[in-house]
Structure 1
């Protein structure tokens, strides 16, 4: 008797490379439309950082500026202080939470099984997912910056080098979050349990990584735990872009430590790729 492995994609005729890329591009549009038609995804991944920025900026506005001198000068507004953390949180939500729950649901409801039996190449499928994450994440950051600038009068950086730093941190961060989201999609046993499994992980990481609380307020052991994961470093990198240089002294290392930011994100991106290669299946293993 011949044994058939149904956990991997069936053999289908190879498509020309150009068609693979065109299919991937068309999947980006399809995935993005589906994303914005899902109300819960739009709120909990796209709008959530914007809502949290508005809440924190308004709730703590009476406390005055963060980091102001004893004579009341200097410092930054609460909105400016929380903006880098919310951008970092948005990167995590767009990549990890979005893809982990989305792919787990597709696996559970049979969507991946049907795609696995179609001529759609794996590359095209992942191009669609990664492209959707990139598009929605960029739109989310633009919305965050507009809200911060025009609703809370946050002064944005004008130095080109700061925006170059923002660009590489963002690209590394969103790529890392996306591949980790794909890898994490193998954890939930069903589509219904995906939200219950993924959201607590993401929420805990936000609280211990300097998104909602100042990182130095945490116990040292918790800082060490958070430093293992990429969100802490994405948030730290974003603070280097949007906060004055004087705030660097408040980091645990006494500086922005951007080379370490890059190193940690690259390592996690490689880990995510390896885990994705080992765990992704079109049909869940029983």
Structure 2
């Protein structure tokens, strides 16, 4: 119980610290909103997007890109933020000092992951509000769609947070953290249907993207927010929500095991 209480106290501390860093808030909290605005402004003149030639189903450009931006927000809040943040704490000695306190790694993890859930939920809510009010995106009116969004968000956020903890061990220094982490995530977003329509990517690229969680996270979000006819644009012509859940759960376990094996209060080479 003491471990949990310390972890819950860390959530508040971590969240307050997050909002005190304006650059972090902008590039991870507001970035999906900015990107949604750019895509909507750039491609709206071409007309609505349809799942196929002659299809009666269609959505606006903003509505089509909204699920991808939600997935990108989860990825940025979890993997990128935590990987860079923890690498920075290793570099400036924060983790070394925390290692000399009664704080356990579990309490530390609870604080970090809790912050990701808190900020990720706020980020998603703000993105949905802006999409509805500013870009006139019609949101789902069925509870099943929101249920799909909810479990996809929870699984995706948990997996992203744990993968962020694990990935923080990769940079050799805090100064190189951003240079190491950001390109990896940027490439994965481009090949996973976040910024480019997944159906137009070559088959080998689709297969490669299917091995990583962002593709399944984006697919789950599309299943929640796009009309059912748009499943024809997916790799197998279906939403495959069962596989979305399986792959996100697999990456959650991978992140949990990897973070447990790689996390150290002090770098081994320090």
Q: Shorter-chain TM-score: which interval?
A: over 0.9
- 1:179, 1:273 within 8 Å by CA — same for their partners in 2? yes
Displacement after TM superposition at 1:274 (Å): 1.0
1:8-19 equivalent positions in 2, closer than 5 A: 17=1, 19=2
Residue 142 (structure 2) pairs with residue 149 (structure 1): no
In structure 2, the partner of 1:139 is: 122
Q: Which has the larger radius of gyration?
A: 1
In structure 1, the partner of 2:153 is: 170
**In structure 1, the residue corresponding to 2:83 is in which secondary structure?**
helix
- 1:68, 1:76 within 8 Å by CA — same for their partners in 2? no
How many matched pairs?
A: 269
In structure 2, the partner of 1:258 is: 241
Provide, for residues 163-214 of structure 1, a one-character-per-residue CA deviation record: whole Å limited to 9, x for no partner.
1111111110000000000000000011110000000011111101000000
TM-score by length of 1: 0.92
Residue 10 (structure 2) pairs with residue 27 (structure 1): yes
Residue 92 (structure 2) pairs with residue 109 (structure 1): yes
Q: Matched residues in 1 for 2:163 and 2:55: separation? A: 43
* Segment of structure 1 superposing worse, 202-211 or 66-75: 66-75
> Structure 1 residues 71 and 177, CA, compared in 2 at 3 Å: closer, same or farther?
closer
**In structure 2, the residue corresponding to 1:94 is in which secondary structure?**
helix
1:43-192 equivalent positions in 2, closer than 5 A: 43-67=26-50, 74-192=57-175
> Structure 1 residues 186 and 71, CA, compared in 2 at 3 Å: closer, same or farther?
closer
Choose from 197, 201, 206 the match for 1:218: 201
> Structure 1 residues 239 and 71, CA, compared in 2 at 3 Å: closer, same or farther?
closer
Q: Matched residues in 1 for 2:5 and 2:159: separation? A: 24
Displacement after TM superposition at 1:68 (Å): 7.2
In structure 2, the partner of 1:12 is: none
In structure 2, the partner of 1:10 is: none
Displacement after TM superposition at 1:22 (Å): 2.0
Q: Matched residues in 1 for 2:71 and 2:34: separation? A: 14
RMSD across aligned C-alpha pairs, in angstroms?
1.3
Q: Matched residues in 2 for 1:70 and 1:227: separation? A: 26
Provide, for residues 126-146 of structure 1, a one-character-per-residue CA deviation record: whole Å limited to 9, x for no partner.
111011000000000001100
Displacement after TM superposition at 1:72 (Å): 9.0
**In structure 2, the residue corresponding to 1:60 is in which secondary structure?**
helix
In structure 1, the partner of 2:210 is: 227
Q: Matched residues in 1 for 2:223 and 2:55: separation? A: 23
Q: Where does the alignment leave 5 or more consecutive residues of structure 1 unmatched?
A: 1-16
Q: Matched residues in 2 for 1:199 and 1:71: separation? A: 39
Displacement after TM superposition at 1:121 (Å): 1.9
TM-score by length of 2: 0.97
Residue 262 (structure 2) pairs with residue 279 (structure 1): yes
